Chains A and B, each alone.
Chain A
Amino acid sequence: MGLAVEFSALSRYFGDVRALDGVSLAIHEGEFFSMLGPSGSGKTTCLRLIAGFDQPTSGSLKIFGKEAAGTPPYERAVNTVFQDYALFPHMSVLKNVAYGLMVKGVAKAEYIKSAEKALEQVALADYGHRKPSELSGGQRQRVALARALVNKPRILLLDEPLGALDMKLREHMQSELKALHNQLGITFIYVTHDQGEALSMSDRVAVFNKGQIEQVDTPRQLYGQPNTSFVADFVGTSNIISADCAFHITGKQQAFAIRSEHIKLIKDPQIGESIQVVGKVFDTQFHGAYTKISLHLTQQAVDQNHPPLVHVVLAHDELGEQPLPQIGQVCNLTWSPQHMVMLNH
């Protein structure tokens, strides 16, 4: 399978600000590819460069093997679903959806038919005559999707499309988008700051930080084998143990990450391969399916005023009838060395 999008040392500077700093990346055809990162990490800049709204300062950007720099947005086989939908307020929903075909000179009867079909696909067949202002957020989102897809793009760009929806609707749209991707077989490039969204939908995820890519991997790899402390921290909840502190635990001067769900609380110290530390509970948070317990590792503290912090996630079915630890209680913690991810930086 060929490459849909290829970045080589792509940079975009705004004055002194390096929004994108020498990024190289290859997105395969037909892939559901997510760009994940905090705001200002460069992921949206990437998207704008692919769409053609912005031009790179240096480096090359190829779309289906052809250099794209200098090609205006209206000549790219790419369509975008905007963060706040960007529906034309003065046109009806049907006209919005038909717009792309209309400006390309498709015959009226034909573009009306295609637009109606596209609206049917997103379950909005009866809403064609309405104005966008008369729709709910979720409906607008689907109109924006239909408006992009009616053009049969080879790449669909989605800029935090679910950001403005409430949680239930967001989860529903996630599975719908995933189904749509399977059905259409085109490349989806999805920008989000929500790691849950990125992990659950994507074939591969690129984690952005400060204009650079930290790691590109499958969601499983990203979660299980984060390369950097940033990825370990940003994807899922990890405890990152600094090198100084790690020395007291493992005997090695190397930082590591350990997932909260991999730490167990035990009554008495055990003899074995596993790593054991002692922590003092200072907070417990009930989350329904699990309880999050925060502890200070007082024994491993380099500075007693700032003891290292560890979060433990206890699933309730695992806990059984045992009482939850109380604040101030001292607990024995243990985890298996195989779950530790050694961090280089």
Chain B
Amino acid sequence: MEASVYPPTQQRKHLVRRLANKLQQKPTLFLLFLLTPPILWFCVVYLGSLFALLWQSFYTFDSFSMTTTPELTFDNYLSLFEVTNLDIILRTLGMACVVTFACALLGFPIAYYMTRYAGAKERGFFYIAVILPMWASYIVKAYAWTVILSQQGMIYWVVNRLGLMPLLTSVLHIDVVGGNTLATSNLGRFIVFTYLWLPFMILPIQAALERVPSNLLQASADLGAKPAQTFWRVLLPLVFPGVVAGSIFTFSLTLGDYIIPQLVGPSGLYIGNMVYSMQGTVGNMPLAAAFTVVPIILIFAYLALAKRAGAFDAL
């Protein structure tokens, strides 16, 4: 009898209203209701795939029959320490460090100018200038650089016109840095990486600088600190979390890249190439997985070091 008090449509409304009231009264239930879908997504897609990867890195690969069996082993990780594989890791790590350092060095002044000196219009220009390259396809930019760096390209042309060819030749003769041409040298690869990841460094530093009130810098000067002292003791410590955030991008992007090493620079594989060929052509999924874990461990180590150095004290 009671159900017939409301006509069917109104009854449905009534139920929705009751549910809404219930949720209103129990905030935890409401929160759960809202958060369950994204948390499920996060757990399954992100963490799930990560753990599947980790798990597979312990599987056994039989190089004779080219098959993978789910027997757990440490062999994949041990083989990372073979000379050829260790070479790959160190080569990638070295480039990641140098690129990160260069990006920080180039990014800081640009971000500083954007926040402290640029007017509204100029700042808008800078934002677009920094973000615009990120709109273009990464592959296109990489190929564009192979043209720019080639012997018929822009850089050679300018260097030639300026009569600086002997200088470039002598730079290219330096071990590790150089190579036959710019396009096949580590220098060229470094330039392309730095170009590609620079925006990822500028934006977090700029955001961190934005949060430093200018009267702190005035207070420092007022108390007798010279500009260099203000930079090292006040500005940099406060902005450092931003630099670390940016460097995580530049660092991990370099560690995971497999296209630039194929297009620009000398031969010799990077971690990304190794993963690509192991899981693609060779089909050695477990070793590919083990290689993938390397950047993750490196990033954790880097963060631990940064924390130890007091990078997050200002947060």
Contacts and interface: CB of A to CB of B under 8 A. Distances in A.
Interface in A43-90: 51-53, 72-74, 78-80, 82, 84, 86-90
B218 A103 contact: no
A100 interface: yes
A90 B314 contact: yes
A88 B234 contact: yes
Interface string A238-279: 000000000000000000000000000000000000000000
Contacts of B216: 86, 88
A154 to B, nearest CB: 13
Interface string B232-271: 0110011000000000000000000000000000000000
Nearest to A89: B314
B223 A90 contact: no
Nearest to A79: B222
A86 B219 contact: yes
29 contacts: A51-B218, A72-B221, A73-B221, A74-B221, A74-B224, A79-B223, A80-B218, A80-B219, A80-B222, A82-B218, A82-B219, A84-B213, A86-B213, A86-B218, A88-B216, A89-B238, A89-B314, A90-B238, A99-B223, A99-B225, A100-B223, A103-B220, A103-B224, A103-B225, A103-B226, A103-B229, A103-B233, A148-B223, A151-B224
In the complex, the 3 A-B pairs of residues with the closest C-beta atoms, listed nearest first = A100-B223, A90-B314, A86-B219
Of the four ranges (under 10, 10 to 19, 20 to 34, 35 or more), the interface on chain B belongs to 10 to 19
A99 B314 contact: no
Interface residues of A, number: 23
Interface of A: 51-53, 72-74, 78-80, 82, 84, 86-90, 99-100, 103-104, 147-148, 151
B314 A73 contact: no
A309 to B, nearest CB: 41
Contacts of B222: 51-53, 73-74, 78-80, 148
B218 A90 contact: no
Interface string B42-63: 0000000000000000000000
A88 B229 CA distance: 14
B313 interface: yes
Contacts of B218: 51, 53, 73, 80, 82, 86
A147 B225 CA distance: 13
A99 B224 CA distance: 9
